[in-house]
Amino acid sequence: MDRHQSSNDSFSSCHLITDKSIIIFCYNLILYLTCDIQCKREGFLQRIKEEEGEGCNIYGFLEVNKVAGNFHVAPGKSFQQSGVHVHDLLAFQKDSFNITHKINRLAFGDYIPGVVNPLDGVQWTHSTPNGMYQYFIKVVPTIYTHFNGHSIQSNQFSVTEHFRSAGAGHFQTLPGVFFFYDLSPIKVTFTEQHVSFLHFLTNVCAIVGGVFTVSGILDSFIYHGQRAIKKKIEIGKFS
């Protein structure tokens, strides 16, 4: 959804003016709307101020190319400069940001039965004024084929984490939560298969045969051991 469209839909009782700003707090990251808004209703700014420090829930889907890249949650207006994605942080030089966050679910593709994503339910609490929390994700393409022939083309992933600290007012390190992902050249295939009764019977026979073989070896060892001891007793050499 476009940022301008989102602000118009969320604040339908407000009109646009200049030189005014409304601050929305999202996971304690201060996001300034590019279109400045003044609300008509009394007490609206007070309610916004009272919500300072509260979090919000971010959810949705991203469609990306099959190349290495990243997506992130960070403060400031973003734009392209010389082909580089940058954030305008001039309005935030005196602010500090708490990037405490919890990931309820993060997946690359459709759900695969039996696969648990390593970032589901992960929570990290921010203890320093500013910093960048980074997730480095290795995505492994995966094909899961049901016994009925239906296939799911999705992805699994592994992850490592890193935190880069930055002092308040110093933004060589952009504050925020960053997800850097890269694709593995290896593809994994899972296939479900029904086991036939004949195959099951063969396995049972193999197990029973193995049990009888081991039992025979133990019985022979015990029998011959007893005979040897008995002979030594008879000739008086056993002590």
Q: Each residue of 169-197: pLDDT tens digit? A: 454 677 889 999 999 999 999 888 877 88
Are 102 and 83 within one domain?
yes
Are 74 and 178 within one domain?
yes
The pLDDT score that the predictor gives to residue 146 is 87
Are 42 and 70 within one domain?
no
Are 80 and 47 within one domain?
no
| Cα separation values, 230 from 177, 198, 226, 239, Å | 78, 48, 6, 12
**Residues whose CB falls within 8 Å of the CB of residue 205, separated by 6 or more in sequence, listed in order:** none
CB 57 within 8 A of CB 45: no
pLDDT, tens digit (0-9, with 9 covering 90-100), for 113-150:
888 899 999 998 887 767 889 999 999 999 999 888 88
Are 11 and 111 within one domain?
no
Q: Which domain holds residue 203?
A: 197-239
Are 174 and 208 within one domain?
no
4: pLDDT strictly greater than 70: no
Are 84 and 170 within one domain?
yes
Q: Which of 27, 56, 85 is the last residue of a domain?
A: 56
Are 45 and 96 within one domain?
no
Are 144 and 87 within one domain?
yes
As given in the structure block, the two tokens for residue 147 are: 């016994």
**Model-wide pTM > 0.85:** no
Percentage with pLDDT > 90 across the chain: 29
The pLDDT score that the predictor gives to residue 136 is 97
| Total number of domains in the chain | 3
Are 139 and 215 within one domain?
no
pLDDT, tens digit (0-9, with 9 covering 90-100), for 37-54:
444 445 655 665 666 667
Q: Provide the 10 A C-beta neighbour count for residue 27.
A: 20
Mean pLDDT of 18-24: 35
The pLDDT score that the predictor gives to residue 51 is 66
Are 84 and 52 within one domain?
no
Are 117 and 169 within one domain?
yes
